[in-house]
Amino acid sequence: MADVVTPDVRSRMMAGIKGKNTKPELIIRRGLHAKGFRFRLHDRKLPGKPDLVFPKHCAVIFVHGCFWHGHDCHLFKWPKTREDFWRAKITRNRQVDFNASQALRKAGWRECTVWECALKGRRQQPVEATIRECCTWLQSKVENLDIRGLC
């Protein structure tokens, strides 16, 4: 199927997509802050610049968009235009995520990934359930957690 907007409009739309302070990220931040957790944002000293860093718990949380990180869920579909470009870009994003995860683990950090589909779309789970899951994980010693939409 051909694109429904002109290349200029599509370019402007894509340029407007943010990498920080996204709606899903703000939802997680507000929820955890309300539960009493304090954190740093986008720490450049850590691999992958995690969205939320909890030094007290030696833990980080990434809030990933399903499209940009190629998540295997109902929100992700491979684009039909410029397929080679998008496959290379999303594959590279996945590799960067993997490398950052390995480096964080090696440095002794625990990691949680909250996927966009957990907070949005037809298979989203209640926001409070996602926040509760993050809180439980932060207070545990579990190494990794992946929070995704309901099956």
Confidence of residue 81 (pLDDT cuts 50, 70, 90): confident
Per-residue pLDDT, 6? 82
Average pLDDT over residues 100-109: 97
Instruction: Give residue 141's pLDDT.
Output: 95
Q: What is the pLDDT of residues 7-16, one digit of tens each?
A: 787 677 666 6
Domains defined for the chain, CATH in brackets:
19-147 (3.40.960.10)
Cβ atoms 24, 65 nearer than 8 A = yes
Q: Is the pLDDT score of 59 beyond 90?
A: yes
Distance linking the first and last C-alpha atoms of the chain: 28
Q: What is the pTM of this model?
A: 0.87
pLDDT (tens digit per residue) in 62-77:
999 999 999 999 989 9
Task: Show the tokens assigned to 120.
Answer: 């949005």
- CB proximity list for 127: less than 8 A, separation 6 or greater: 27, 31, 119
